[in-house]
Chain A
Amino acid sequence: MNKKGDKLISIYWFAILFIVVGAVVYMVYIFYGVPYDIRGIESGVLTEHIADCLAEGGYFRENVLNSEDFKNSFLTRCNLNFEVEEVYDWDGQEQYYVEVNFYEFDLDSSEVGSKLNFEIIEGNINVKTAELLENPESEGRSFYVLDEATNQQYIVNIMALVRKTEKNEI
């Protein structure tokens, strides 16, 4: 009689154990199953990579400023590859957009400076359009740099955007 009771109690304990484990697994899944949005980090890394490609030690690298050759081979010169995974029909739609603008720095001016007639644009312009619709004040990041030959001061603004919405939103 007692043996039968013990058996029942064991089954009961196992049942409770499975219910508790199941509930904990479910809670962890619903909490951590939501994807992290790493687009900000990705665009930050891209921005820093481009900045490093443009300038080093406070000065522009050689043949960067006003160089049509650099502009035309920007992706190759900066070792950038905008190809993405073959998922979510991304084949025909680029997921990145990069825009680099150069300004002559003027300490006395209230503005950043006068924009040069030299800009670098790569990637999918629709990514920028979508970003500006969502964040109208989005303007990328800027840094201060010198031209070693002329000692002229410049501000370089880099806007690096990543779409990849499907992978980063619920």
Chain B
Amino acid sequence: MKYNKAQAGETMTWIVATLVIIVLLFFSVFATSALVKVLKVGERSFPLNKHETQDLLASKSLSAYLLTEDDGKEIFNQINEEGFFNDFNGELAEKLFKGFYNEENDLVVGMMVFDPPPEGGGAKHSSYFTEGVMGGLTLQSTSRTFNALHVQKIYLNENNNRSLELLVRGNLDD
């Protein structure tokens, strides 16, 4: 009699365990189906764009921008000699790159100045965008105050401690 009771108890345990497993599985399948329905087709687009750090069209535009002549002098040489953007090339940069993608994501041309590389070490940022107006935006911060994605870097001198950078600024995490 005692033996039969033990057997019945053990069987009950297995039945309950089976039911728990099946309920959990049904819940998982249901949750997955619901998730698939919530994710619309557009949101299942291949998630590559926001990790992209190269943009051929932006790079081409930057090359053409630096080759553009003002009073017989290319902007590349202008910036190198004057040390920063002037009215002409600043305004041109603004018109070309502000709103390059859409209202939320801008392209910003900025200048990066590096400290002289320490012995045996690489270059170090001394400031991210020196003070001034670039692309119509006054960026005075010495650190990244916005979410940015590096697109293109062009060194302005042979020491590689001064560069012109093209950055995407905007809601990259969306």
A residues touching B (Cβ–Cβ < 8 Å)?
A: 12, 16, 19-20, 23, 26-27, 30-31, 34-38, 40-41, 44, 47-48, 51-52, 55, 57-59, 107, 141-146, 151, 153, 169-170
Is B2 on the interface with A (CB-CB < 8 A)?
Answer: no
Is B16 on the interface with A (CB-CB < 8 A)?
Answer: no
B residues touching A (Cβ–Cβ < 8 Å)?
A: 14, 18, 21-22, 25, 28-29, 32-33, 35-36, 39, 41-42, 44-46, 48-49, 56-58, 60-61, 63-69, 91-92, 95-96
The complex places the Cα of A141 from the Cα of B49 at a distance, in Å, of 15
Inter-chain contacts of B28 with A (CB < 8 A): 23, 27
Which of A20, A34, A52, A169 sits near B21, CB closer than 8 Å? A20
- Are A58 and B63 neighbours in the complex by a CB distance under 8 Å? yes
- Are A144 and B29 neighbours in the complex by a CB distance under 8 Å? no
- Are A141 and B57 neighbours in the complex by a CB distance under 8 Å? yes
CB within 8 Å: A-B pair count:
90
With A19-B21, A58-B67 as contacts: A37 and B57 at CB distance below 8 Å: no
- Are A144 and B61 neighbours in the complex by a CB distance under 8 Å? yes
- Are B48 and A30 neighbours in the complex by a CB distance under 8 Å? no
Query: From A56, which residue of chain B is reached at the shortest CB distance?
Result: B60
The complex places the Cα of A167 from the Cα of B35 at a distance, in Å, of 22
With A12-B14, A37-B42, A38-B46 as contacts: A145 and B60 at CB distance below 8 Å: yes
- Are B14 and A51 neighbours in the complex by a CB distance under 8 Å? no
- Are B41 and A146 neighbours in the complex by a CB distance under 8 Å? no
Inter-chain contacts of A34 with B (CB < 8 A): 36, 39, 41, 44
Which of B41, B66, B96 sits near A170, CB closer than 8 Å? B41
The complex places the Cα of A31 from the Cα of B32 at a distance, in Å, of 7
